[in-house]
Amino acid sequence: MKRWFALIVALQVVFVLAEWGNYTIQAESGAKVVLKALPVDPRSLFMGNYMALDLTIERIDLKGLEVSPGRDALDTHDTVYVGLMPGQPYAKPVSVSKTIPSPPREGIVYMRGLVVGWDAPRPGEKAPARSTIWIDYGIERFYFDERRQEELLDQALPRPGRPANISVTVSVPRSGQPILRKLHINGKTVEF
């Protein structure tokens, strides 16, 4: 009986260590891109203190971008890969597709997201123009320790005469699933 218990505990420890190792390898080996973000200040009773980040690439104007298989083929709840061109100061989208191209374009980082909607029709239009797509990447929340709450929120929230300059560094492995690595607020870096 004791041997079975020890075996079960050992297997659980091995599983947790394997998951941690896989996450660490994915985060360290992925391409790094910097994205522009805007702060929002919600709190969750069950999830703790966090800062919601409104990434500027959550809402993408498809005009001038490569869209595969075409904007009419993209639908809500589809998984898409946004091709990002790393650059200064921020990465910018260059393509949206349902799969990562094979072979991937040189210098492009493909970040996976979920289509959550399209732009609303303009006044007088019968149907949406389907030119602006809304994408959720699953990295829109930065959780922080309660002890740092006042400091981070004071730095992040814009004040009259002092706009907040917020960006995030994201690691994107070959799978395309982004991993939030760093939060940058007005030149100061907050690591995870």
Q: Strands of the chain (E only): list them.
A: 31-40, 43-44, 48-55, 59-61, 66-68, 79-85, 92-97, 109-118, 132-136, 141-143, 166-172, 179-185, 188-191
Q: Is the CB of residue 62 less than 8 Å from the CB of residue 116?
A: no
**What is the predicted pLDDT for the residue at 45?**
47
Please tell me which residue, 189 or 111, carries the higher pLDDT value: 111
Answer whether residue 122 is part of any domain: yes
Residue 69 placed within a domain: yes
Q: Do the domain assignments include residue 6? A: no
| Higher-confidence position of 157 and 128 | 157
Q: Is residue 3 part of a domain?
A: no
User: Number of folded domains in the chain?
Assistant: 1
On whether residue 2 sits in a domain, the answer given is no
Domain span at residue 86 reads: 24-191
Residue 160 CB neighbour total at 10 angstroms: 5
Q: In the predicted model, what is the mean pLDDT of the chain?
A: 82
CA distance 190 to 181: 9
Per-residue confidence band for 177, with pLDDT thresholds at 50, 70 and 90: very high
What integer pLDDT is reported at residue 153 of this predicted model?
67
pLDDT of residue 104 exceeding 80, the answer is yes
The model carries a pTM of: 0.77
Tens digits of residue pLDDT in 108-144: 999 999 999 988 665 666 655 678 899 999 998 877 7
Residue 114 lies in a domain: yes
Q: Name which residue leads in pLDDT, 157 or 56.
A: 56
Residue 130 lies in a domain: yes
Q: Is residue 8 part of a domain?
A: no
